[in-house]
Amino acid sequence: MHIEIAQAVEFLGRLLQNKLDAGMIASFKEQLGELLKQHFVDHWDPQQPYRGNGYRSISNFNGDLDPVIAKACHLANCSAQLIHTHLPRDFVLWIDPYSVSYRVGDHGNIMTLYEDRSRGRVSLKMDPGNTGMISPSQSPRLQYLQPQSTPIRISPPSSPENKKMKPHIHQPSPLAMNAKKDEKKDTLVMAN
């Protein structure tokens, strides 16, 4: 837990580095680290690293600064509003056992800051007589337990091909096509 918290606090310090006084940042980082340790005491399970990750997240979302950051600002005697203005909008930082990652924007990529796969691996004995261990990458049932660090992007589906207009050099605009239809209607005479 201490390694992951240190990684997250250092990352936030780097985000604020050129915008605030170094002494203020150091005090803020120290207070934030202590608050996160207290905050995570009963919410840290290395056997189920993603359980409770919403509780362990830090956010600057919808114009609201995370209460843990606001409290760290208060204890460090620095302005929470100042910290809020210098953090990215719609920012979420997840601090999980063996992993620290963040996302900027509602549809942004999830970026991994820290990942320790050596501590997070699950192993199974093949049989009681064999002492050889197999890794999760070799076990089809345990592959999904390994955290992935590949950034993902969720986008709306593309338009179907039949609805896309293909660009042509001399294609009339839709308004011009409607005008020609209207002209034809005006010139037609109904006969009985």
Reduce the DSSP state of residue 65 to 3 states and report it.
strand
In this structure, is residue 123 part of a structural domain?
no
pLDDT of residue 71: 92
Domain count, the chain: 1
In this structure, is residue 183 part of a structural domain?
no
Give the whole-angstrom CA distance, residue 26 versus residue 21.
9
In this structure, is residue 42 part of a structural domain?
yes
CATH code of the domain covering residue 22: 3.90.640.90
Give the whole-angstrom CA distance, residue 115 versus residue 122.
15
Integer-rounded Cα Rg, in Å, for the chain is 28
| Mode of pairing for the β-strands spanning 110-115 and 99-104 | antiparallel
In this structure, is residue 160 part of a structural domain?
no
In this structure, is residue 68 part of a structural domain?
yes
Q: For 54-82, what is each residue's pLDDT tens digit?
A: 778 888 888 788 899 999 989 988 888 88
Give the whole-angstrom CA distance, residue 63 versus residue 29.
22
Give the whole-angstrom CA distance, residue 78 versus residue 83.
8
Total-model pTM: 0.58
In this structure, is residue 51 part of a structural domain?
yes
Domain extent, residue 27, equals: 1-115
Element (DSSP H or E) covering residue 158: none
Amino acid at 192: N
Q: For 100-114, what is each residue's pLDDT tens digit?
A: 888 888 888 888 888
Q: For 120-177, what is each residue's pLDDT tens digit?
A: 544 333 444 444 444 444 444 444 444 445 555 555 666 555 555 555 566 666 666 6
In this structure, is residue 139 part of a structural domain?
no
